[in-house]
Chain A
Amino acid sequence: MNAIHFFKPELLWLLPLTLLPLVSYGVKQFNYPGLEDWPKDLLSDWLRWGVRALAVLTLISLIIAAAAPFTEGGTVIRVGEGAEIVVVLDRSGSMSENLQANDQSVNAKPISKIEASRKVLLRFMEQRPADTFGVVAFNAAPISVAPLSADRELARAALKSAESNSSGFTALNRALAMGLDYFNGRPFTATRLVMLVSDGDAVIEPEDRVILKNLFRQYRAKLIWVYVHAGVEKNILSSVIAGDNEYIPQAELDQVEINQNVAMNRLFEDLDIPYQAFEVNSEAGLQQAVAEIERSTNKPTRYEYRLPRQDYAIYFYLLAMLLLGALFWLKQIEIRAWKP
């Protein structure tokens, strides 16, 4: 059982005041000539002590209720299928570029990459109820938007609030470091994923690579790059996945080789960490990504669920009310004038 704490323990100093009813009588007094032959009445004596005890108890329960006792709820470890996922969301200027729309109809409205990825991520979150989400948004500097917690509303709000804002430079390495930092101090109970949602366009300095590599090792986290794909950009996977149906000329491949995104992909692979990349520009891409993540996170998650603390003041207030009712009744039957 948890120990009882008080919200305002200083109020307990008032407890000696509860002895006041033992000093005063609290009942109306009448003079009476000669009590020496008053009959010995046990019932009266009991009631006398009863009234005092009642008053003392009322005061005690009121003071304790005012001091607001509570016990810490503690934490409960729950087991669920899922992963701890830190979404590292790129909100650099390039993310505001419009995504290539599949249908070419007039009604189709172009949507920006960040909007699309937000939608995708929200849907992803819906499909993964057991996961723990944290959000880091970054452009020139990473912002810790929502810490890693079971609070789904927070992560959702964090995603919704992320808007693209161009400042030219993309601090990818620092964002990843911050995302990894979320795992700091948490027990390793579930698969750890850092889900980078970005359209690339960032470089990582060689010295930072070492740091990142060590961090990924340290936290045993896995990196997933959800590559938000605009039409004009090249498929990053073309360099990895061979044997596609389409024919890719060597010259174009060379061009892709020098493409920064591909370089980034390579870079992540070179980090020598568990790494996967997904290209998301459509519903199908999303399904694939979700399925893939499910496959990779089949390990059951044991996560700590913080119980709310238990408040006991209400019981003391109820007790005080009951006792006050009894005292009120006694006050009602008090003799106000000594006459029949």
Chain B
Amino acid sequence: MPQQPLIHYHVRWRPSGHQPGASRGIVAGIGDQLRSVVLLRDHPDPRRLDLRASVRDPFANIWVRDFNLNSALKVIVLVDTSASMGYVGQVNRMHVAQEIASQLALSAYRSGDAFGLFAAGEAMNKQCMLPPKANRGAWLWVNHHFSKLKPQGQHANGLFAAVPYLPQRRCLVFLISDFRWQAGKLKQLLKKMAHHDVVPVMLQDPAEMDALPKSGIAILRDTETGAAQFVWMRESLKKQMQNLRAQHVRNVEEASRKYGNKPFVVKGEFSSALLTKYFMERSA
């Protein structure tokens, strides 16, 4: 695994935790954003003495500044482990998911944020469950557990069961999947997680979209249902196919937009720099 730069995720909302971190929070504490000016009596910290306010006060009270705590985020990764995630095209889809999760775990630790992970196929995978906390070895845990994960199941409805395990307060949720779900499932899930900041990470393989064979005959087998489809690839069918896949991406985008999110599409290998760029664009 080549060393990738850290992911600098950035959120526009304020986390409410009391754990010091990198984001501007909403609780009082040590931070870089002025919260209010209070009496020294209430906040006995003479280091934050506000001279200007104290001198201006006709009652000669002594005022100190109060700041918002720079608090830690909670970064949660939800991984779809249905059978379609085991697809191996030009890249191994599960390896890509593992790479994303471990890079996020590493970056979260470096930012002082908590990292948690839940995996679910048809049912939630209780063996592969990491409650969110600041965890130095989380990326190792991810690598260890993902190597034992077997993608199976015809749908990813277990993700709904994973939602109650998420922290009650708003946190940053990465939803890693190929979103080959039934129509409406994504909207339902996003609705359930509406109070979280959800980043749908959409995995794609060039082999299923851009890099289709030009011509020839073959049989395609659905990794989830096992249904077989005889295909005679030719230019018209290829174009039809690409249109449908593009339509699928648009569907995911549309469902996400409804809940204020924008999917991050990973084509082939994962690049952490692209994810950083995604966050910069999103915050702008």
Closest to A39 in B: B240
- Alpha-carbon separation in the docked complex, A339 to B91 (Å): 12
Q: Which of A29-65 contact B (CB under 8 A)?
A: 29-39, 41, 43-45, 47-48, 51
Among B180, B221, B244, B248, contact of A30 (Cβ-Cβ < 8 Å): B221
Produce 1/0 per residue, A6-47, CB < 8 A to B. 000000000000000000010111111111111101011101
- Alpha-carbon separation in the docked complex, A30 to B231 (Å): 11
Among B215, B217, B224, B247, contact of A33 (Cβ-Cβ < 8 Å): B224
Residues of chain A touching chain B, judged by Cβ–Cβ distance below 8 Å, are: 25, 27-39, 41, 43-45, 47-48, 51, 330, 333-335, 337-340
Closest to B210 in A: A340
Q: Which of B75-100 contact A (CB under 8 A)?
A: 84-85, 87-90, 93
- Alpha-carbon separation in the docked complex, A301 to B26 (Å): 125
Establish whether residues B229 and A47, one from each chain, have CB atoms under 8 Å apart when the complex forms.
no
Establish whether residues B213 and A29, one from each chain, have CB atoms under 8 Å apart when the complex forms.
no
Q: How many CB-defined contacts (below 8 Å) exist between A and B?
A: 110
Tell me which residues across on chain A come within 8 A of B84, comparing CB atoms. Answer: 33-34
Contact A32:B232 (CB < 8 A) given known A333-B217, A340-B214: no
- Alpha-carbon separation in the docked complex, A48 to B222 (Å): 17
A36, chain B: closest CB distance, angstroms: 8
Establish whether residues B228 and A44, one from each chain, have CB atoms under 8 Å apart when the complex forms.
no
Residue of A31, A36, A51 contacting most chain B CB atoms (<10 Å): A31
Establish whether residues A338 and B230, one from each chain, have CB atoms under 8 Å apart when the complex forms.
no
B284 contacts the other chain (CB 8 A): no
Among A29, A35, A36, contact of B218 (Cβ-Cβ < 8 Å): A29
Tell me which residues across on chain A come within 8 A of B207, comparing CB atoms. Answer: 338-339
Closest to B240 in A: A39
Establish whether residues A47 and B180, one from each chain, have CB atoms under 8 Å apart when the complex forms.
no
Establish whether residues B231 and A338, one from each chain, have CB atoms under 8 Å apart when the complex forms.
no
- Alpha-carbon separation in the docked complex, A25 to B220 (Å): 11
Tell me which residues across on chain B come within 8 A of A47, comparing CB atoms. Answer: 217, 230, 232
Report 14 cross-chain contacts, Cβ distance below 8 Å, ordered by A residue: A31-B223, A33-B84, A33-B87, A33-B223, A34-B178, A34-B223, A35-B222, A36-B222, A39-B240, A44-B230, A338-B212, A338-B213, A338-B218, A340-B214
How big is the B interface, by class? 35 or more
- Alpha-carbon separation in the docked complex, A338 to B208 (Å): 9
A295, chain B: closest CB distance, angstroms: 79
Establish whether residues B220 and A37, one from each chain, have CB atoms under 8 Å apart when the complex forms.
no
Residues of chain B touching chain A, judged by Cβ–Cβ distance below 8 Å, are: 84-85, 87-90, 93, 178, 180, 205, 207-208, 211-225, 227-233, 237, 240-241, 244, 247-248
- Alpha-carbon separation in the docked complex, A35 to B84 (Å): 10
- Alpha-carbon separation in the docked complex, A27 to B220 (Å): 10
Tell me which residues across on chain A come within 8 A of B224, comparing CB atoms. Answer: 33-34
Kindly list the 8 A-B residue pairs having the minimum CB-CB distance in the complex, ordered from nearest: A34-B180, A48-B230, A33-B84, A335-B216, A335-B218, A32-B220, A33-B87, A35-B222
Tell me which residues across on chain B come within 8 A of A32, comparing CB atoms. Answer: 87, 208, 220-223, 229
Establish whether residues A338 and B217, one from each chain, have CB atoms under 8 Å apart when the complex forms.
no
Tell me which residues across on chain A come within 8 A of B240, comparing CB atoms. Answer: 39, 41
Contact A27:B230 (CB < 8 A) given known A32-B220, A37-B244: yes
Among A37, A330, A334, A338, contact of B248 (Cβ-Cβ < 8 Å): A37
Establish whether residues B217 and A334, one from each chain, have CB atoms under 8 Å apart when the complex forms.
yes
Establish whether residues B230 and A45, one from each chain, have CB atoms under 8 Å apart when the complex forms.
yes
Residue of A31, A34, A338 contacting most chain B CB atoms (<10 Å): A34
Establish whether residues B237 and A39, one from each chain, have CB atoms under 8 Å apart when the complex forms.
yes
Contact A35:B229 (CB < 8 A) given known A28-B218, A29-B221, A334-B216: yes
Establish whether residues A30 and B218, one from each chain, have CB atoms under 8 Å apart when the complex forms.
yes
Establish whether residues A29 and B217, one from each chain, have CB atoms under 8 Å apart when the complex forms.
no
Contact A39:B213 (CB < 8 A) given known A27-B219, A31-B223, A47-B232: no
Closest to B85 in A: A33
- Alpha-carbon separation in the docked complex, A44 to B227 (Å): 15
Tell me which residues across on chain A come within 8 A of B229, comparing CB atoms. Answer: 32, 35, 38, 44
- Alpha-carbon separation in the docked complex, A300 to B248 (Å): 91
A256, chain B: closest CB distance, angstroms: 98
- Alpha-carbon separation in the docked complex, A70 to B218 (Å): 40
Tell me which residues across on chain B come within 8 A of A44, comparing CB atoms. Answer: 229-232, 237
Closest to B239 in A: A39
B247, chain A: closest CB distance, angstroms: 8
Closest to A37 in B: B244
Establish whether residues A333 and B241, one from each chain, have CB atoms under 8 Å apart when the complex forms.
no
Tell me which residues across on chain B come within 8 A of A338, comparing CB atoms. Answer: 89, 207, 212-213, 218
- Alpha-carbon separation in the docked complex, A30 to B211 (Å): 14
A22, chain B: closest CB distance, angstroms: 13
Among B89, B205, B211, contact of A340 (Cβ-Cβ < 8 Å): B211
Among A31, A337, A339, contact of B87 (Cβ-Cβ < 8 Å): A31
Tell me which residues across on chain B come within 8 A of A30, comparing CB atoms. Answer: 218-221
Establish whether residues A339 and B88, one from each chain, have CB atoms under 8 Å apart when the complex forms.
no
Establish whether residues B217 and A35, one from each chain, have CB atoms under 8 Å apart when the complex forms.
no
A301, chain B: closest CB distance, angstroms: 65
Tell me which residues across on chain A come within 8 A of B227, comparing CB atoms. Answer: 35
Establish whether residues B217 and A335, one from each chain, have CB atoms under 8 Å apart when the complex forms.
yes
